[in-house]
A and B are shown apart, each in its own frame.
Chain A
């Protein structure tokens, strides 16, 4: 009986939230360069407001087309490429931290824990600053059981081989509230890589947000890796994504298509094996919800 009362109470709370017209609050919000702290796979220039939590659930399905897609897998719906659940927090309006856990793609990582810190250096404001800038750094740790295959990157002879790091500069410009651009140079360091791979990998990310209506936005994001290593050129592709973003008060929904399977900078930048031109792209989504205790 107590359980029944609990669930009835819970449903009443949910109902009362649905009744509130959040859309009225839209006009009082600041115009942002990007609506979320992420664009599609990577970070945006934005940080969370002070003393605000954000819960994020990100998901990537299997290939829509190509050899692994098509109607046999309902265009990728039968397969989960990766998923991440995370809790992030704005310590101040300029400084945020986040922690997450991803399934991983198993190529090579799975069971990933991640953490990051991001600091907003500058905010675009008329008469003050023409651009917005933030800097960030993060790390991932995989606690998957080590592979018994010595030739596998997941063989992990040392515990330190389970760690990867990244550091990123994010420079963004917004033209009114119509279109935003961002350049996102990033350095990814992996402690343990394949014999012909690079421990340090640089990528010059770029992104764009185009306003379609009051609530809908088109997002594009591209992370080309810059190197002269044949091994990487033969085996890997650059991450390219396009998304439709639906902004509601407190919530943010992104429906995206990307060739990357993995979530997180240490996965989608160095380990994108999939090629858009072979139909190896997938549907993904992100749902985020901001809340505070007070």
Chain B
């Protein structure tokens, strides 16, 4: 055990092109998540940008079943790597509402 005072570091997101929320992220959420999460399933509703932005880390972890979180979409299969990567890059770029 030790005491540190570290903070999350910014990154260049691997130099990827800007990911559009409207053209890329919203369709993923709408098609892959909102079959259930349009009405509070599991405590999460993703019907608008703010809620997706606020829960982006949990969404990403659920897409990868990371950190002990249930894999989503529930029952699998997991999303294609390209979709998950797009979501991760969008987060890395500051979760733009573009």
Contact A146 B91 (CB under 8 A): no
A107, A111, A192: the one within 8 Å of B6 (CB): A192
Q: How far, in Å, is B86 (CB) from chain A's closest CB?
A: 13
Report the interface size class on chain B.
Answer: 20 to 34
Instruction: Judge if A199 is at the interface, Cβ distance under 8 Å.
Output: yes
Contact B68 A62 (CB under 8 A): no
Q: How far, in Å, is B69 (CB) from chain A's closest CB?
A: 6
**Majority SS of interface residues in chain B?**
loop
A62, A146, A194: the one within 8 Å of B43 (CB): A62
Contact residues, A258-294 vs B (CB, 8 A): 273
Contact B8 A192 (CB under 8 A): yes
Contact A146 B57 (CB under 8 A): no
Contact B40 A151 (CB under 8 A): no
A161-B6, A192-B8 are known; give 17 further A-B pairs, CB within 8 A: A68-B43, A68-B44, A68-B45, A106-B61, A149-B60, A149-B61, A149-B92, A151-B91, A161-B4, A193-B7, A195-B7, A195-B8, A195-B9, A197-B7, A199-B7, A200-B5, A273-B54
A-binding residues in B (CB < 8 A):
1-11, 39-40, 42-45, 51, 54, 56-58, 60-61, 64, 66-69, 88, 91-92
B-binding residues in A (CB < 8 A):
62-63, 67-70, 72-73, 79, 81, 106-108, 110-111, 139, 144-155, 157-158, 160-161, 163, 165, 189, 191-195, 197, 199-200, 273
